[in-house]
Amino acid sequence: YHAKTHGETCSFYSNELDSHSTRRLTMLADLGTAIRENQLQLYYQPRIDIKTGACNGCEALLRWDHPLHGMVPPADFIPLAEMTEIIHPLSLWVLTSAMKQIRSWMDQGKEIAIAVNLSARNLIDIHCPSQVKSLLEEFDVPHRLLEIEITESALITDPHRAMQVVEEFHKLGIHLAIDDFGTGYSSMSYLKRLPIQTLKIDRSFVKDMLSDDADAVIVRSTIGLAHSFGLNVVAEGVEDEPTLMVLRNLQCEQAQGYHICRPVPVADFDAWYDARLN
Ligand code: C2E
Ligand code: CA
Ligand code: CA
Ligand code: CA
């Protein structure tokens, strides 16, 4: 009886896996097409200086405008891309598009930095920094206007190699931020060793910081920790004014979140940006 149950469980599970992997394979094939046929799009979410309210940059967030499924969020396809080599052309597409956008803003007399998210596989790719360097030259973009966000988990696959790649980015004058800070491992040792300028506090801590004492403690101590390492802090997921006010009192430098602006297509970003005093 036990064996049968076990067998049933197994076959049920593997059927699940099969239909799952078929869907994934289709997705992966589609993703190749998406890159070639321009179905990808960058949305931009502004980040503000909490003291002045000025927008000093934005984060590029990838969207897939799928011909059948509509706008697909990154959570539905990036983890898949990250399991394969397709993350390389994908990230290259993101970097190239971001570079073109910075150039276009510069031609309009605007200096807006764009932060791009890179994956673990990009961080262990020793060619990545030289590709980025070529793009910066091709589009004649000041290096400080490109920022790179990495997560702590992206560093653990091959910490030694990742460290080398990060060091190369640093030498190029590119600003680096640790994303989703507090959700990964060994945060302290990375803070000591990595040439980073910014910590982004994960929105899971920011979201309830006014109602949850533990979250409040985490946010407050992360800001203190960052400052003692001479780092800037960006709070993500700021959804209301009271949270923004408390972050200001805690000396958090920058904020990002729906309360300020959602991630939007470039035309909406421009309208939002032009309507503010920057
Ligand atoms: P992330 O880097 O932590 O990006 C922030 C996510 O929080 C974005 O989700 C953004 O839309 C969302 N967000 C921003 N403000 C708020 C808020 O006030 N409230 C709430 N509830 N959410 C907020 P999104 O765009 O769905 O991206 C999800 C994740 O996908 C990103 O998390 C990032 O890890 C990944 N991702 C996005 N674009 C790229 C990319 O080009 N390359 C790579 N490798 N990963 C990307
Ligand atoms: Ca990010
Ligand atoms: Ca984040
Ligand atoms: Ca996150």
Ligand 1 atom with minimal separation from the 258 CA: 18
**How confident is the model at residue 186, as a pLDDT?**
59
Best of 47, 61, 123, 240 to mutate for ligand 1, by most ligand atoms within 8 A of CB? 61
Banded pLDDT at 9 (limits 50, 70, 90): very low
Instruction: Name the residue type at position 14.
Output: S
Banded pLDDT at 155 (limits 50, 70, 90): confident
Alpha-carbon distance of 42 to 173, in angstroms, equals: 23
Query: Which residue, among 58, 42, 40, has the nearest Cα to 257 in the 3D structure?
Result: 58
119 lines ligand 1 (CB under 6 A): yes
Residue nearest to atom 11 of ligand 1 (CA): 263
Alpha-carbon distance of 98 to 94, in angstroms, equals: 6
Percent of the chain with pLDDT over 90: 75
Distance of CA 270 to the CA centre of its chain: 20
- 134 to each of 39, 40, 104, 141, how far by Cα in Å? 24, 22, 17, 10
3-state secondary structure string across 70-100: EEECHHHCHHHHHCCCCHHHHHHHHHHHHHH
Ligand 1 atom with minimal separation from the 87 CA: 44
30 lines ligand 1 (CB under 6 A): no
pLDDT, mean of residues 133-158: 93
Q: Per-residue pLDDT tens for 249-266? A: 999 999 999 999 999 999
Is residue 118 a contact partner of residue 178, using CB atoms and an 8 Å limit? no
Maximum C-alpha span of the chain: 74
List beta partners, residue 72: 64
Indicate if the pLDDT at residue 2 is higher than 50.
Answer: no
pLDDT, mean of residues 15-36: 77
Q: Which two tokens stand for residue 210?
A: 């006014």
Count of residues in the chain: 278
pLDDT, mean of residues 91-120: 97
What is the 32 CA–ligand 2 centroid distance (Å)?
23
**How confident is the model at residue 239, as a pLDDT?**
98
**How confident is the model at residue 18, as a pLDDT?**
61
Ligand 1 atom with minimal separation from the 73 CA: 26
Q: Which two tokens stand for residue 265?
A: 């297509």
DSSP annotation of 264: B
180 lines ligand 1 (CB under 6 A): yes
Indicate if the pLDDT at residue 3 is higher than 60.
Answer: no
Higher pLDDT pick, 219 / 1? 219
Is residue 39 a contact partner of residue 65, using CB atoms and an 8 Å limit? yes
pLDDT, mean of residues 57-66: 96
Average pLDDT, the chain: 90
CA dihedral 179, 261, 59, 263 (to 10 degrees): 100
Banded pLDDT at 90 (limits 50, 70, 90): very high
ipTM: 0.97
**How confident is the model at residue 277, as a pLDDT?**
67
pLDDT, mean of residues 15-27: 69
Indicate if the pLDDT at residue 11 is higher than 50.
Answer: no
